[in-house]
Structure 1
Amino acid sequence: MRKFVHLVDSVNEWLGRSMRWFLLIAISFTCIEVGQRYLFNHPTMWGFEVPIHFAAAMYTLSWGFVLLRKGHVRVDVLYNRFSERGRAIVDVACFLALFLPVIGVLTYSAGSWMVHAWAIGEKSVITYWYPPIAPMRTAIFAGILLLLLQGFAQLWRDLYFLARGEHID
C-alpha cells in the first residue's frame, strides 16, 4: 500500500504543479481574444470556448493535489482541537460517510458522461465553432478519479496511523 500511496501522491503532486501552465494558457487565449475583439474588431470563433476547456481541465486535475496538500475547506475551529488521533478518526469517518459516496457517484457520472461524449462524437454548441467536447470531459473524469484515488491514499494514511501510531511517510 505504501507504493500505491506514493504513486498517487507523486502523480497528483506533478499534475498539480503542472496545472499552473494551463492557467497561463487560458489567460493567454483570453487576452488574445480580447485584443482581437476590441483592438482589431476581429473576434475569433474559438476565443470563448478554449479558455473554458483549459480552465475546466485545470480545476478538476488540481483537486487531488489540493487534497494532498490538505487545502480543501474544513471546519478548523473544531478539527484543530482534536488530538492527532482524533483528527485521523474524524478523517476516516468523513471519508466513509461523505467523501466516498459523493465522489464515488461523481466519478461514475463523469465516466459515463465521458464515454458517451466519445461514443457519439459530441460537439459543444456554445459557439458556432463546435469543438469536440470529449477531451474536456476526459480531463474532468481524470481529475475526479485522481481525487478519489487521493482520498483512498489519505484513508490508508489515517488507518495506518490509527493502527500503528506512526505516519506512513
Structure 2
Amino acid sequence: MSLENEPRLEVRDVPQDPLSAALMPLAPIFAVAFLLVTLFSFYEVVMRYVFNAPTIWVHETTIAMTALCFAFGGAYCLATDRHIRVVLLYDQVSPPTRRRLDIVISLVGAASCALMAWAAWSLAYKAFYMPGGQFRLETSGSAWNPPTPAIVKATLFILLCVMCVQFILQAVRHFRRDPHQDAHHGVPGEGRFDDV
C-alpha cells in the first residue's frame, strides 16, 4: 500500500534537536508571563480609573515582559518547527525539492539571525557598559527607572544567537534527511532529533 495516498498528520510540539528540547521547559514560564501582563494591565486600569492612583511600574514592566515573550516566541517556533511557511508553492513541489528548499531556508534564517545578533550585540554591550568601559545597567530613565532596557537587549541578543544555532541544526537535519521523506508531515514523532 502506498504511503502517498495516506492522510498526512502534522507533527506538533516535538523538539527538533537537543537545543530545542532544552528550550521547551521554558515555554510555560513565558506563557504565564503573558497572563501576568494581562493581569498587571487590568490592575493598572482599575487603579488609574477607579481609584485615581496610577502605578509607576506597570507600563514599563508589561512592555519589557511582552518584548521578552515575543523574542522567546521565535525560538519556540523554531524549536517545534512551527515557523511560517508559504505553502502555496512549497506543497506543490516534490519531497526532494522541499528538502533543498528547507536547507536553503534554514541557512538564510541562520544568516539573518547572525546579522541581527551582530547588530544586537552592540546595543546589549552599550546597555551594560559606559563608553569609558565602566559597568552599569542601562535604565529606563523614568520615575521608577528599572534596568529593563539592559535586560531586554541582552535577552534579545542571546535569543538571536540561539535561533541562529537552531537554524544551523535544522539545516543539518534537513541535509541528513532522506530526500523522499517529508519533514513537516508524517507519523507523530517522525523527524525528532533522537530519530536522526
Q: Tell me the TM-score range normalised by the shorter chain.
A: 0.7 to 0.9
The answer as to whether partners of 2:139 and 2:146 remain within 8 angstroms in 1 is yes
The answer as to whether partners of 1:61 and 1:146 remain within 8 angstroms in 2 is no
Q: Which amino acid aligns with 2:88?
A: V
Q: Which amino acid aligns with 1:69?
A: T
**Deviation per residue, 1:52-78 (Å, 9 max, x gap):** 100111110121111232322221011
Tell me how large the CA RMSD over aligned residues is: 2.2
Q: Which residue does the alignment assign to 2:143?
A: 128
Correspondence 1:65 to 2:76: yes
Q: Give the C-alpha shift of residue 162 in structure 1.
A: 5.0
Correspondence 1:140 to 2:156: yes
Q: Which residue does the alignment assign to 1:112?
A: 122
Q: Give the C-alpha shift of residue 12 in structure 1.
A: 2.5
Please report the TM-score for the alignment, with normalisation by the length of structure 1.
0.85
Matched residues, number: 163
Q: Give the C-alpha shift of residue 101 in structure 1.
A: 2.5
- Aligned residue among 1, 20, 23 for 1:12: 23
% identical equivalent positions: 25
Provide the secondary structure at the position in 1 that maps to 2:105.
Answer: helix
Distance 1:51 1:29 in 2: 7
- Which structure shows the bigger proportion of residues in helix conformation? 1
Q: Give the C-alpha shift of residue 163 in structure 1.
A: 7.5
What are the within-5 Å matches in structure 2 for residues 13-162 of structure 1? 13-96=24-107, 98-120=108-130, 121-125=137-141, 127-132=142-147, 133-162=149-178
The answer as to whether partners of 1:114 and 1:141 remain within 8 angstroms in 2 is yes
Q: Mind listing any 5+ residue stretches in structure 1 that lack a counterpart? A: none
Provide the secondary structure at the position in 1 that maps to 2:42.
Answer: helix
When structure 1 is superposed on structure 2, of 114-123 and 5-14 the one drifting more is 5-14
Q: Give the C-alpha shift of residue 161 in structure 1.
A: 0.7
Please report the TM-score for the alignment, with normalisation by the length of structure 2.
0.74
Runs ≥4 in structure 1, deviation > 6 angstroms?
Answer: 163-166
Change beyond 3 A, Cα 1:16–1:87: farther
Q: Mind listing any 5+ residue stretches in structure 2 that lack a counterpart? A: 1-15, 131-136, 182-189
